[in-house]
Structures are given as C-alpha cells and as structure tokens.
Amino acid sequence: MGGVNGKVVAITGASSGIGEATGLELAARGATVVLGARRTGRLKALAERIRASGGRAEVVPVDVTRRADLEQLVCTAVERFERLDVLVSNAGIARTGLMAELDVDSWDAMIDVNLRSVLHGIAAALPVFRRQGHGHFVTTVSTSGLKIVPTQAVYAGTKNAVRTILEALRQESTDGVLRTTSISPGYVRTELADYIDDPDIREQAQRRMTALGISPDAVARAIAFAIEQPDDVEIGDITIRPTFQN
C-alpha cells in the first residue's frame, strides 16, 4: 500500500507549524487526516481549509500529556474511517537553560510532551497496527539531538530518547507489519521558540529562526516522502535543516 492517497493519518500538534503543514500536505495528496491538538479553534479552521479544497479531515481535541486523549485520537480514526495507517507524533516543546538552574518543572514538561506523549501514542496505536497488519509511526525529533549544545541538555535528551525508542521498536518489529521514521528538523519557522522562558535565549532563538529557518512545508514534504514509500521500504531517519545551519 504505497503512496499517500487513501491513507488515514493522525497528527498531533496539528494546530500550527510542522503539524499544520503536514495536515495540508498529506490531505492535498489524498490522505484523510485526523487532526489533534489543544487549540481546537485552529484545528477547526485548518479542517475547513482542507475540506474546502476537497480533502477529508477530522478534528479531535488532544492534550498529548493525557494518555486518554491519545487513545481517543486513535479511536476516532478507527471508528470514523475503519483504520489508522500512520500516526505522526509531532507535538513538542522546548525549554532551554543550564542544568545548574535546576528548572525541574521545565524538565518535567519536556519529558511529558516530547517523550511520554510519544509512548502514549505508541501504546494507543500499536495494537491497531498489529490487528490490521500494517502501520507507520512517524515522529518529529530534532537536530538538537544530533549536535549537543549547552542549555539544551534535557530537550536534546528527550529527543534522543524518542529516537532510541523508535529504533528499538523497529528492531522488535521486523515482520513487515510496522514502519518507524524519525524526522529531525533543524531551524524551522514555527512557534517553538516563542515559549522559551528566558527572554534573552528566546530572542536569540527567534532571530535564528527568522534568519535561517526553512518553511514547515519542507518538513511536511519529508514526512510525505517517508509515508509514500511502498510497504516493504522503510525510511528510518530523515535529517532536514537549512543549508546555512552549522
């Protein structure tokens, strides 16, 4: 079942940035998208754009820190469209700071959103994928997990943990049923930096995104590329960054 057309794809963090762009890209290629995020107003507006262009979209309120919400996202896809072909785990947050600052609340938040939510998604979708005989986990990671720098220790740690989990899941699932893909974007023009607490670091990150960042559409196309491969082809890792990023 290669290609994107006709597939049912659930996306977390779909209200903006990479998630929004992915919903638009996949729907334009003929996928049915099940859009999950907390900001339901934005989700509904996105779904209307997709439907106005002839696509199919469903909206599910999702707080990825709640396991029940991930279960509802998967259940909605299966109940409404009779299957789920791909789960794109895209929701993520970035909190930066030196380890010595001991910002434990930010550490916990990143673990909950960046790591624990991916596990919740796997727990919700894996039985469905096994039952139907196919399924694809696509997860947004980060180049921050490839180039370790000060102030990003916990953020990079959560991203590397996700990469490790997906690789282990791949090795446990070489019977042809599952595929896993890690997408590692560099600077992308999204809202991610807007929520960094430290104003100086936030401003610096925003400047870099403005100067260097690529469009979320570029990442969405990379996700579509991984999904559209034939079932016997797995794109395990994609690193996508601006050509000017060091």
pLDDT tens-digit map of 19-42: 999 999 999 999 999 999 999 999
The pLDDT of residue 104: 97
**145: in domain:** yes
Residues annotated as catalytic are 155
Helix, coil or strand: residue 183: strand
> What pLDDT is stored for residue 211 in this prediction?
72
Total domains in the fold of the chain:
1
**1 in a domain, yes or no?**
no
- Asked if residue 3 is part of any domain, the answer here is no
Q: How far apart are CA 167 and CA 124, in angstroms?
A: 18
In the structure, what pLDDT confidence band is assigned to residue 52 with cuts at 50, 70 and 90?
Answer: very high
Residue 143 in any domain: the answer is yes
Residue 80 has pLDDT above 80, yes or no: yes
Confidence of residue 212 (pLDDT cuts 50, 70, 90): confident
Residue 1 has pLDDT above 60, yes or no: no
Compute the CA torsion angle 155, 159, 164, 168 (nearest 10 deg).
Answer: 130
Within a domain: 245: no
Domain that holds residue 21: 8-240
What CATH number has the domain bearing residue 24?
Answer: 3.40.50.720
The answer to whether position 2 is within a domain reads no
Average per-residue pLDDT for the chain? 93
Q: Any idea what the Cα angle at residue 26 is, between residues 232 and 176, rounded to 5°?
A: 15
Sign of the dihedral defined by the CA atoms of residues 47, 87, 93, 61, in that order: positive
Which tens digits make up the pLDDT trace of 125-181? 999 999 999 999 999 999 988 989 898 999 999 999 999 999 999 999 999 999 999
